[in-house]
Amino acid sequence: MRVGDEVELTFHDLLVNGQGVGRLGSLAVFCWGPLPQERALVRITTLKARYAVATQLRLLSGSPHRVVPFCAAFGTCGGCQVQHMSYPAQLSWKREVVHNALRRIGGLHGVDVRNVIPSPRSRRYRNKVALVVEGGEQAPPQLGFFRQRTHELVEIESCPILVPELDDIVARLHSLRLEDRLGEVYRVARHFVARASSANGGSVLSITTEREAPEIARVAQHLLERLPRVRGIANSFDPTSANAVMGRENRTVAGTTAIEETIAGVRYRVSPESFFQVNPSVVAKIFALMHGGLAQPRKIVDLYCGAGTFSLYFAAAGSRVLGIEENPAAVREAEANAELNALQERVEFISARVEEAVVRPDIAARLREAEILFLDPPRKGSDEATLAAIVRARVPNVWYLSCDPATLARDLKFLTSNGYTVGIVQPFDMFPQTGHIETLVTLYCNAREIQAAVEAAFADTPPPEWPDDDQSSPTEYPDFVIRES
């Protein structure tokens, strides 16, 4: 086998980055394009001792799950990985991704991974976009997204994953790049970041630059006139690295740069730089799943609480909540949203690194008192110091929400090796058409006495809504279960 060789290959698996997996003897071959069950003619482009990377030349036989992608940029833009797979097949595949990670990484062989709860929309769901801006000195600037695993720009004029309000803003920003009056803004911009509200349809725009840019303030009102859906413009500057989308400093230069979302009756005011889930309708489904565990007031500790998305829902349900978050700006936003919902008496937020906070005597005492420990860590997962603090406190119920099956499996291995038992494993499709998966897992100190209650709670529950653009059988939709301490 040499680089440049052409071979016919049958593919049997799919990675979360969209690469099909085939085998030539003991050599794994990764190639973008083929789905499982498909055979393709490929050319070897990279050859290593244990694997090879190939480029698809021609599809020889297709999968019954293959569909025509609905975006012309699919295959070049790195935003979506599986538009060529039917939506029901995407859900089944994502369930297997979670199952395989728990088994191979976590050593959890007997765990039941439930069917993935679908997004109400399999497209037009994303409420935030970050456009890369390049060029502009000798030629009109380009706006778009990077190709997967590269810094090569793919120019984008429209994106069918975005909610319509944002897609309109993308199209207008693309056309405005040719307007002389706005040329200086495009020349200094690194990113255009826009966020839309599903509650009231308003949108805000943040322009990321290396340094504070007075050029933006000079034309901000004109830009608002040219972007009728945008209610405010901010300048984000002083990024932490060359790859950072937002800067450490943010200045509002026109209008208002906060939008409002409402999920399950809780109001959230968020800014473009805030972390807030991009698919609020799926957050509502996660809330609904948790509702059964909040039937009576609980003492809850929320680690990595961000701007308080889940803390405020728990408090609105009557629980008392301690939220811990490293980002001071997110904590200030969480406190403002607590006041917005008149929940200040039920929720407290602390700005601190989670792994440092949990070993403080006062926080350790709060962990020992907690009935529920909720954690929603970043993609890298939690850490041993935090997980060890949970184990020492013997919190009776741990609810772990993860966006990465691999780090989830690693952390579950630690917890199950130290006295916890997995209860429910429920994936959610927060990001249709991509390889990303959101998974909620419950753990208990002792699961033997609750197994019958778990099974009983799964009966007679309403199914979730199914996307209008896909007609398939709905997944099961279980109630939540909590063990009394």
Catalytically annotated residues: 403
R_g (Cα) of the chain, nearest Å: 24
Residue 238 corresponds to which amino acid? D
> Taking Cα atoms as reference points, which of 162, 180, 184, 183 lies closest to residue 171?
162
Distance CA 130, CA 128 (A): 7
Sign for the pseudo-dihedral over CA of 396, 284, 308, 123:
positive
DSSP 116: P
Tokens coding 313 = 């829902």
Tokens 């001792």 map to which residue?
49
**End-to-end CA distance of the chain, in Å?**
61
291: CB partners within 8 A, 6+ apart: 317, 479, 480
**Encoded tokens for 218:** 């000079």
| C-beta separation of 409 from 108 below 8 A | yes
Alpha-carbon distance 70 to 87, whole Å? 12
**Number of residues in the chain:** 485
> CB of 134 within 8 A of CB of 294?
no
The strand pair at 191-196 and 153-155 is best described as unpaired
- Contact yes or no for 78/17 (Cβ under 8 A): no
In the numeric block, which tokens belong to residue 257? 């740069």
Q: How far apart, in whole angstroms, are the C-alpha atoms of residue 77 and residue 418?
A: 43
Distance of CA 189 to the CA centre of its chain: 25
The C-alpha angle with vertex 414 and arms to 484 and 304, in degrees rounded to 5, equals 70
Partners of 113 in the β-ladder: 425
* Among 267, 231, 226, 268, residue whose Cα is nearest residue 252: 231
